[in-house]
Structure 1
Amino acid sequence: MSATTAEPRPLVAPAPEGPVRGRRVLGVAGVFVAGLVLLAVLSAWHLTQGTAHLSVGELLRAVWPWASDDGARQQAVAVLVSSRVPRLLAGLLVGLALGVAGTVLQSVARNPLASPDTLAVNAGAYVSVVAVAAFGLALPFFANGLVAFVGGMAAAGLVLAVARGGAGGPTRLILAGSAVALALDALTTVLLMLFQEKTTGLFAWGSGTTVQSGTHQVALAAPIVGIGVAATLVLAHRLDVLGLGDDTATVLGVDVRRTRVVSIVLAVLLSAAAVTVTGPMGFVGLGAPVVARLVARRVPGLGRHLLLLPFAGLVGALVVVAADVVLRIVVPADVSISVPTGVVTTLFGASLLVWLARRLRDGGPAAASTTRGAGERCAPGPG
């Protein structure tokens, strides 16, 4: 009589795929909707702030197409078109660009401390623009953006070369980026002091300001940012695979070297476009991706780069607009024009960097050797 072996029954019945996928879609959609609603509220609040005293009713009449065309409405329209709407659009565009750029750099380096600031991309772009201005050259927008792009690429390449592409751990990457950024900032300060007449207006711009005179620069930069964001979304799947490790990515058919090079070029392109519009906006490229990844840990499905990249851009826009709103609440309206928004974002990013420094462990060679030494001491002896 032959014995039959029954198949082991699972202790927990697998959840049906349909409901789980539906909950994930609802969760991701809910996060995006909540972010967009919050951004809309902050944007509306942002439009009410400025040196010209305009009530909410006057602003609503300015955008209402059937409102009477009186003098008050014309004044409100002029204020919105010439100052407040360009300022808001600049904040939204720069936040989107830096949020996506920071996420790409962190994914390529597999390091949450990588950003346009810590890799000296912003410092390289800024010193290049100042150097050109110091020689008395007045370049158009696209040529100025090209100069910023070349400077950012050179600085990022130098940092990655010193830090061995981030393989030396977060500490080495931050030290290399800080050293290069400090050197470039010192060079920028020297140029600003020696050529004060030719670099007039670049000092405040160097801290990141959303103040704009019209929408000309934003309109020119928007297609570049759009193309850059779209190109990063094309690389989203490769970035997902790259997170599994170089060997696994190579086995799965991803050209690791080419993916890294293209990704860094796109990130520097987005950062250079942002610097050209508002100057280097401090630590937005670090803070927005970190916040986006923290939210993605609690929302299943949001961690894929196809969704994480636009969500980080949304968080970046929230950070810049919220910083501008907070600045104009704390500082009087007539003084807030001369205070760059980048001061607030830098304070936010510095606090976040301290929190990350206390939370993260260095995974570099020093940590590995320490682990090996502890293991050797704890290993039992022979006999």
Structure 2
Amino acid sequence: MTDAVKAPRAGAGGASVVLLCLLVGLLLTACWHLTQGTSGVGPADFLDALLGREQSHGATASTMEIITGSRIPRLAAGIAVGFALGVAGALLQSLARNAMAAPDTLAVTGGAYFAITLVAAFGLSVPLWASGITAFLGGLVAAGIVLTLAGGAGTSTTRLILAGSAVALALQAATSTLLILYSEETTSLFAWGSGSLSQLGLRAFWQVAPVVLVATVCGLLLARRLDLLSAGDDAASVLGVPVRSTRAIGTVLAVLLTSASVTLAGPIGFVGLCAPVLVRLLGRLVPTLNRHAVLLPAAGLVGALVVVAADVIVRAVLGADEAMSVPTGVTTTIAGAVVMVLLARGGRDSGPTRRPPGATVTIRSRLRFLVVLVLLLALTFGGHRRRPARGPPVALHRRHRRLAAEPGHPAGPVRARRARTPGRRGRARRWRPRPGRHVSSRRRAATRWPSRGSSASPAEPGSARSSW
């Protein structure tokens, strides 16, 4: 088997190993997450309940009831939200071709949160599916405003990020204003607005999970187009990719995933930014991860791992009781801020004005270098031919210069004048005979100079001339 056939299989095997490792890491973190809580059910009780043995500690409520009624819904919400935000961030970064693109920086999360807050401020009580539709419409409108301000989907990525940041700040200010003016109607949105995984059951998860699954499958169907789109709009168009429809469908899918996560747990920030960046960093070691068929699920798994790990770390550091008052979105925002600083430091020379790296020049063969240098000098100076000046003054030969210096010579100064020769076009150089040389009368007549003070032309017969 040739190396060309072995290489893709090796890359596919590496991607499978990475996905398997991410899945195992998520399962281990989930098991750790289930052992933390305020009810006193620890790892030993969880292991006993998992193996079907009798509990070693007498608890007020049964262990399985606590796990299934409180901890599993929180864990399921964290996995669904992280997976949705990871896939949404990967889609937006691929469409914008910018590592800074995310549901947060493009104002999709802010638009969804503002729409839900606006509905709550007017005192409207809507079911979960209606809240999801409201969040989807708000995020879609915010994305449309960002694209309009940036000048379209195919505009510069820098303008897209700047427009998204401006709209996100404006929506955040508007949401804060509504929360302050309508504090009684929006009391429950204060903690939820920072991203909370607290759930009353699995009902909300079962309503959001199909939306996340369908949107992810649709994104995988666009994987081939996204791979070609990464080469540029012009190259993708030549290869038959409908660029506008691909961007539109990808944007709608990203907004749908973001609105589902906001409906379930509120706006959890920077997960959509961190997850795709971490996968692309792994893609330097395993190039197959850069294919969107692998990138999208990998980004989803990393996003779920980030959210669940953030919740676990808060509970492990602060304790279960104090961690209840700290939303999960606060931890993910801090982690996202660190990632943004690292991206800014590492990408300061990227873009169209990238500074070229310093290069060192080495001479492999001195003999070749000397030969080439001699040839270049020979071509430069050896092929140079001196041409007479085309200006009016022309330098005379030393014999003529000596004659011209004699008093009364019509040439006057050392440099002779140019005159138009009769019968020739353009300005020609006058022929002058050498001293002692026989010259025909016809040519002597053509080379006579007019005397000083006479305006007659040399070609005019009968005019006053002064011969040599």
Alignment TM-score, normalising by the size of structure 1: 0.88
Partner SS, residue 150 of structure 1: helix
Instruction: Give how far 1:41 is off.
Output: 1.2
Q: Deviations over 1:198-226 (max 9, x none)?
A: 11211111111111111111110000001
| Aligned equivalent of 1:117 | 104
| Aligned equivalent of 1:177 | 164
Q: Is the 8 A contact 1:98 1:313 kept in 2?
A: yes
| Aligned equivalent of 2:408 | none
Gaps of 5+ in 2: 357-468
| Aligned equivalent of 2:328 | 341
- Say which is worse superposed, 214-223 or 27-36, in terms of deviation: 27-36
Instruction: Give how far 1:161 is off.
Output: 2.2
Residue 234 (structure 2) pairs with residue 247 (structure 1)? yes
Instruction: Give how far 1:167 is off.
Output: 5.9
Q: Deviations over 1:234-288 (max 9, x none)?
A: 1110111111111111111111000000000000000000000000110000000
Residue 127 (structure 2) pairs with residue 146 (structure 1)? no
Question: What is the letter of the counterpart of residue 219 of structure 2?
Answer: T
| Aligned equivalent of 2:351 | 363
What count of residue pairs does the alignment treat as equivalent? 355
Residue 92 (structure 2) pairs with residue 105 (structure 1)? yes
| Aligned equivalent of 2:225 | 238
Instruction: Give how far 1:170 is off.
Output: 4.8
Distance between the aligned counterparts of 1:150 and 1:276, measured in 2? 12
- Say which is worse superposed, 55-64 or 230-239, in terms of deviation: 55-64
Question: What is the letter of the counterpart of residue 353 of structure 1?
Answer: M
- Say which is worse superposed, 23-32 or 42-51, in terms of deviation: 23-32
| Aligned equivalent of 1:53 | 40
Instruction: Specify the structure having the higher radius of gyration (Cα).
Output: 2
Q: Is the 8 A contact 2:115 2:138 kept in 1?
A: yes
Instruction: Give how far 1:71 is off.
Output: 6.4
Distance between the aligned counterparts of 2:209 and 2:154, measured in 1? 34
Question: What is the letter of the counterpart of residue 125 of structure 2?
Answer: A
Structure with greater helix percent: 1
| Aligned equivalent of 1:159 | 146
Q: Is the 8 A contact 1:62 1:73 kept in 2?
A: no
The one of 179, 186, 190 equivalent to 1:203 is: 190
Instruction: Give how far 1:96 is off.
Output: 0.6
Q: Is the 8 A contact 2:49 2:55 kept in 1?
A: no
Instruction: Give how far 1:300 is off.
Output: 2.5
The one of 273, 279, 284 equivalent to 1:297 is: 284
Distance between the aligned counterparts of 1:297 and 1:161, measured in 2? 34
Distance between the aligned counterparts of 1:180 and 1:167, measured in 2? 18
Residue 118 (structure 2) pairs with residue 131 (structure 1)? yes
Distance between the aligned counterparts of 1:27 and 1:46, measured in 2? 28
Q: Is the 8 A contact 1:51 1:333 kept in 2?
A: yes
The one of 13, 26, 34 equivalent to 2:21 is: 34
Instruction: Give how far 1:68 is off.
Output: 7.5
Larger RCO: 1 or 2 (CA < 8 Å, sep 6+) = 1
Q: Deviations over 1:56-110 (max 9, x none)?
A: 1211222334658996495211211121100100010011100000000010111
Q: Is the 8 A contact 1:121 1:268 kept in 2?
A: yes
Distance between the aligned counterparts of 2:97 and 2:185, measured in 1? 41
Alignment TM-score, normalising by the size of structure 2: 0.72
Q: Is the 8 A contact 2:45 2:57 kept in 1?
A: no
Distance between the aligned counterparts of 2:146 and 2:55, measured in 1? 58
Partner SS, residue 93 of structure 1: helix
Pair 68,75 (structure 1): closer, same or farther in 2 beyond 3 Å? closer
| Aligned equivalent of 2:62 | 75
Distance between the aligned counterparts of 2:218 and 2:256, measured in 1? 11
Q: Is the 8 A contact 1:152 1:268 kept in 2?
A: yes
| Aligned equivalent of 1:374 | none
| Aligned equivalent of 2:250 | 263
The one of 177, 186, 189 equivalent to 2:173 is: 186
Instruction: Give how far 1:165 is off.
Output: 4.4
| Aligned equivalent of 2:31 | 44
Q: Is the 8 A contact 2:45 2:55 kept in 1?
A: no
Instruction: Give how far 1:16 is off.
Output: 2.0
